[in-house]
Amino acid sequence: MRRGVIFNLLAIALFSAILYAAFAMNASRLQVFARATDLLVAGKVEYVWDDVTEDATNSISTGIVQEDYNLTVYDTLPPICGQSICNLASLPLDYVYFVRNYSQPDMEVRFLAPGANETEISNETTAIVIHPFEMEYYYPQYAHNEMFLYIPDAVTVPPSPLNWINLELNFSDYNFSGSPSWGKYWSCTPPAAECVAVNVTLRDANGTRWSSSNYWFNTDKKSVLDIYFTGCTTNVNIGKQQAGDRKTIDVINSCGNAKTAMTMNFNTLNYWVDFLAKIRVRDVNYNASRAALTTDLGK
């Protein structure tokens, strides 16, 4: 009788141990599944973000090189986009439409304006912003052959963080017809608050080089460089059109394609660039997302 009780107790203990082990295994298995799912979702979000960011930055014919005190923006006016003319503002939108139409239903991809949280990217918000000076490199809406560099008034006030600007234009389709000349030139003497040093260098399709002898510009007034080609004229405008306007360097190319390189030299390394937009990828089912500026790609 006593032996039977002991056997029964032993059997119950063994049975309970096996049951406990089974439950523990199950709990552990669920934990592993949860972690694996997290890993899968995070991997997918990161993967889609990387894919979209790479394509979006490759889709525009603009390059930015930040090298110590020099920041150079390379561009083509108008950009060469095969069947249709495109620019920084329009081509990413094509890509935005493509991603919207053909991305996986569970992966939400959004292109956000710099600094904005939920605003979708639009033509108006596409600009390269140089912080903390708030200088902007941008295009007038729907214009395919014109670009601006906006220089806030405060930037030129001594001690100005902007030492000089170097603007190079290489025209690939036309040759100079006579020497380029300043139709209007407003000089100044540094360190006046409106003074900006700008060096302009031009090359035509033959490789003929022209370099401006004027260096200091009074940006409260508008200086105009006329570049004559056979059959067309291109302009570089430096300064405000009129009092109250934005202070800009404005390049309007009406003569085929021109490769441009605008280098800004600052007296500090404490500047950074916001480029294009933020791209946010979200897994709808798991509410996991990554949102970052496209310039974070290389960091």
| Chain positions contacting other proteins, by CB under 8 A | 11, 14-15, 18-19, 21-22, 25-26, 28-29, 32-33, 35-37, 39-40, 43-44, 47, 50-52, 54-55, 58-61, 79-84, 86, 91, 94-95, 97-99, 101-104
At its nearest, how many Å lie between other proteins and the CB of residue 266?
30
Strand order in the sheet with 278-283: 107-112, 278-283, 288-293
At its nearest, how many Å lie between other proteins and the CB of residue 87?
11
Question: Token pair 């004027």 is at which residue?
Answer: 214
At its nearest, how many Å lie between other proteins and the CB of residue 145?
17
Q: 202-207 — which CB contacts under 8 Å span 24+ positions? A: 202/168, 202/169, 202/170, 202/171, 202/176, 202/227, 203/168, 203/169, 203/170, 203/171, 204/171, 204/174, 204/175, 204/176, 204/229, 205/171, 205/172, 205/173, 205/174, 205/175, 206/175
User: What does the alpha-carbon distance between residue 127 and residue 137 come to, in Å, rounded to a whole number?
Assistant: 6
At its nearest, how many Å lie between other proteins and the CB of residue 43?
6
User: What does the alpha-carbon distance between residue 173 and residue 238 come to, in Å, rounded to a whole number?
Assistant: 24
Nearer to other proteins, 88 or 151 (CB): 88
Q: Any bridge partners for residue 283, and if so which?
A: 107, 288
Q: Are 163 and 265 contacting, i.e. CB atoms less than 8 angstroms apart?
A: yes
User: What does the alpha-carbon distance between residue 192 and residue 123 come to, in Å, rounded to a whole number?
Assistant: 35
> Going by DSSP bridges, is the β-strand pair 248-252/146-150 parallel, antiparallel, or unpaired?
antiparallel
Nearer to other proteins, 30 or 116 (CB): 30
Nearer to other proteins, 94 or 245 (CB): 94
Q: Any bridge partners for residue 48, and if so which?
A: none
At its nearest, how many Å lie between other proteins and the CB of residue 166?
26
At its nearest, how many Å lie between other proteins and the CB of residue 33?
5
Question: Token pair 């119950």 is at which residue?
Answer: 12
User: How far, in Å, are 78, 83, 87, 166 from residue 171 at the CA level?
Assistant: 11, 21, 17, 16
Q: What are phi and psi of 76, to 5 degrees?
A: -135, 130
Nearer to other proteins, 103 or 214 (CB): 103
At its nearest, how many Å lie between other proteins and the CB of residue 96?
11
User: What does the alpha-carbon distance between residue 130 and residue 199 come to, in Å, rounded to a whole number?
Assistant: 20
Nearer to other proteins, 60 or 112 (CB): 60
At its nearest, how many Å lie between other proteins and the CB of residue 59?
5
Nearer to other proteins, 104 or 181 (CB): 104
Nearer to other proteins, 9 or 25 (CB): 25
Nearer to other proteins, 87 or 218 (CB): 87
